[in-house]
Amino acid sequence: QITLKESGPTLVKPTQTLTLTCTVSGFSLSARGVGVGWIRQPPGKALEWLGIIFWDDDDRYRPSLKNRLTITKENSKNQVVLTMTNMDPVDTATYYCAHRREDMASYFDYWGQGTLVTVSS
Amino acid sequence: DIVMTQSPDSLAVSLGERATINCKSSQSILYSSNKKNYLSWYQQKPGQPPKLLIYWASTRESGVPDRFSGSGSGTDFTLTISSLQAEDVAVYFCQQYYSTPYTFGQGTKLEIK
């Protein structure tokens, strides 16, 4: 059974760095074809894809966030970490991590419950 | 970026009636080499993460009721709920995974009339 769970701060101040951890179970982060993506959703708004890391440590990012965003993983800990620098109130959102099922096909079949991050002084 | 535009933004349908949600991509998301459309549909209920309903534009996810179906190709896609049930009240999103950045539609809110 595949599960993902996000953890991290619920409140960050403007200009601070956000670090969120996605702890996964039921699959291996190093298994060929596996990917874990990050998606966020501002309150009452649409979903926004942020980035993804693949089993071979390749990664892709939303271009508008590329300079602020880093996604890494630690296979032995079953964890994927999102780091976003220079946080702003517009970054207030629920942040989700999600599992990609197929190689070369990044639709997401399992999602974490999400964690609401508020950016405010 | 590929822009995904859903219509309508909201929809009210009577129980037992058909609900149709449209999704249009700003460029084709049909990959010529494998003839697959790189489109998925999700259902999101309040306070919950999105749930995968459909992938490859028309493949129903395991466990999803067969009243949900996806169709379309190229740039125009449709999610159809053949007979609306009360538990289908939710927001529905389409997503293209043809190229990064992967993008979602703005969502369609489905309610009971």
A42 close contact with B: CB closer than 8 A: no
Q: Do B97 and A63 touch (CB under 8 A)?
A: no
Contact list, B55 vs chain A (CB under 8 Å)? 105, 107, 109
Across residues A1-5, what is the average pLDDT? Answer: 97
Q: Do B38 and A105 touch (CB under 8 A)?
A: yes
What does each of the 113 residues of chain B score in pLDDT, given as a tens digit? 999 999 999 999 999 999 999 999 999 999 999 999 999 999 999 999 999 999 999 999 999 999 999 999 999 999 999 999 999 999 999 999 999 999 999 999 999 99
pLDDT mean over A26-48: 96
Tokens coding A114: 């999400």
The DSSP call for residue B87 is G
Question: DSSP of chain A, one letter per residue?
Answer: --EEEEES-SEE-TTPPEEEEEEEESS-TTSTT-EEEEEEE-TTS--EEEEEEETTS-EEE-GGGTTTEEEEEEGGGTEEEEEE-S--GGG-EEEEEEEEEETTEEEEEEE---EEEEE--
For residue A101, what pLDDT is reported? 84
Provide the number of CB pairs (under 8 Å) joining chain A to chain B: 55
Residue pLDDT, tens place only, A95-112:
999 999 888 889 999 999
Chain B residues in contact with A39 by the CB 8 A cut-off are 104
B61 interface with A at CB cutoff 8 Å: yes
Sequence-ordered list of residues with C-beta below 8 angstroms from that of A43, at least 6 positions apart, any chain: A92, A93, A94
Q: Do A111 and B51 touch (CB under 8 A)?
A: yes
B70 touches chain A (CB under 8 A): no
Q: Which residues of A touch B93 (CB under 8 A)?
A: 46-47
- The answer to whether the CB atoms of A107 and B101 lie below 8 A apart is no
